[in-house]
C-alpha cells in the first residue's frame, strides 16, 4: 500500500451478519497487509495452551475487567456465558499514535458500541454475495435442522439491515476480491480531505 506523507493511523472495524466470512477475510487480509495491527482483546477467560499475553489476548481477572468498564477504558465489551471480552482503548490509541492502522473484527453489536465511542473509525460491513449463497453456506455445514436453519437465515436477513449504520459494504463473493476492496478502502480513507487538513499548514 502506498502511503501518503506523515499519515496517522486509522481504526477499521470489520463486521457483518453471521455467515459472511469475516474470519476468513480477516486472516487473508493480514497476510496481504502486514503493516496493520490487529486489535488485541482483553478477556477474563483463562489462557489456553500456547496463548500469549498481549498477543492473543490481555488476560485479566473479573475484578480488573470490571474496573476497566468503570474507568471507561473499553471501546466495547460483552459477557459471553461466564467470561467477559472487550476491546481496550489504550492498545488501539497507542497503535494509532505510532502511525499504524488498527483492524478490529467484531460482531454487529460490538461494532455499534465502538462506533458510539470512536466515531472517527471506519466501519466495514461484510455480506455474503446473495441470499441463495448464504443459504447454501448455512446448509453446507450439514448440522442444521429445518428450524435452526430458518432461525439462522432469518437472523442474518435482519442483521443485514444494520448495513445502514456502516460506512462501507463489502460483498464477499471471493475472498481475494473482498480483501482487495478492503485494502482499497483503507488507502482511500487515508486520502479523505478531513484526514489531511494538516497539509494546509505545511504550505
List residues near a second copy by CB under 8 A. 2, 4-5, 125, 127, 129-131, 157, 160-161, 163-164, 166-171, 173, 177, 180-181, 183-185, 187-189, 191-193, 196-197, 199-200, 202-203
* Residue 86 among known ligand-binding residues: no
The minimum distance between CB 201 and a second copy, in angstroms, equals: 11
Instruction: Tell me how far CA of residue 117 lies from CA of 43, 87, 88, 125, in angstroms.
Output: 19, 11, 12, 18
Q: DSSP string of 69-108?
A: HHTT-EEEEEEETTEEEEEEHHHHHHHHHTT--EEEE--H
* Residue 140 among known ligand-binding residues: no
* Residue 21 among known ligand-binding residues: yes
The minimum distance between CB 145 and a second copy, in angstroms, equals: 22
Q: What gap in Å lies between CA 152 and CA 57, rounded to an integer? A: 29
Closest CB to a second copy among residues 81, 203: 203
Contacts of residue 188, Cβ cutoff 8 Å, sequence gap at least 6: none
* Residue 128 among known ligand-binding residues: no
Residues in binding site: 16-23
Per the annotation, where are the binding residues for ATP?
Answer: 16-23
Amino acid at each position: 500500500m502506498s502511503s501518503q506523507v506523515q499519515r496517522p493511523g486509522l481504526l477499521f472495524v470489520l463486521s457483518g451478519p453471521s455467515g459472511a466470512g469475516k474470519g476468513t477475510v480477516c486472516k487473508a487480509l493480514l497476510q496481504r497487509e502486514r503493516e496493520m495491527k490487529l486489535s488485541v482483546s482483553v478477556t477474563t477467560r483463562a489462557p489456553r495452551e500456547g496463548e500469549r499475553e498481549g498477543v492473543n489476548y490481555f488476560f485479566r481477572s473479573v475484578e480488573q475487567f470490571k474496573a476497566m468498564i468503570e474507568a471507561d477504558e473499553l471501546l466495547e465489551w460483552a459477557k459471553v456465558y461466564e467470561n467477559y471480552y472487550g476491546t481496550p482503548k489504550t492498545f488501539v490509541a497507542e497503535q494509532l499514535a505510532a502511525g499504524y492502522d488498527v483492524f478490529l473484527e467484531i460482531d454487529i453489536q460490538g461494532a455499534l458500541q465502538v462506533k458510539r465511542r470512536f466515531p472517527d473509525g471506519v466501519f466495514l460491513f461484510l455480506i455474503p454475495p446473495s441470499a441463495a449463497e448464504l443459504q447454501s453456506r448455512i446448509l453446507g455445514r450439514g448440522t442444521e435442522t429445518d428450524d435452526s436453519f430458518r432461525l439462522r437465515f432469518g437472523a442474518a436477513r435482519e442483521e443485514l439491515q444494520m448495513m445502514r449504520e456502516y460506512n462501507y459494504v463489502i460483498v464477499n463473493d471471493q475472498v481475494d476480491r473482498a480483501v482487495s476492496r478492503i485494502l482499497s478502502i483503507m488507502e482511500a480513507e487515508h486520502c479523505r480531505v478531513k484526514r489531511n487538513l494538516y497539509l494546509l499548514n505545511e504550505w
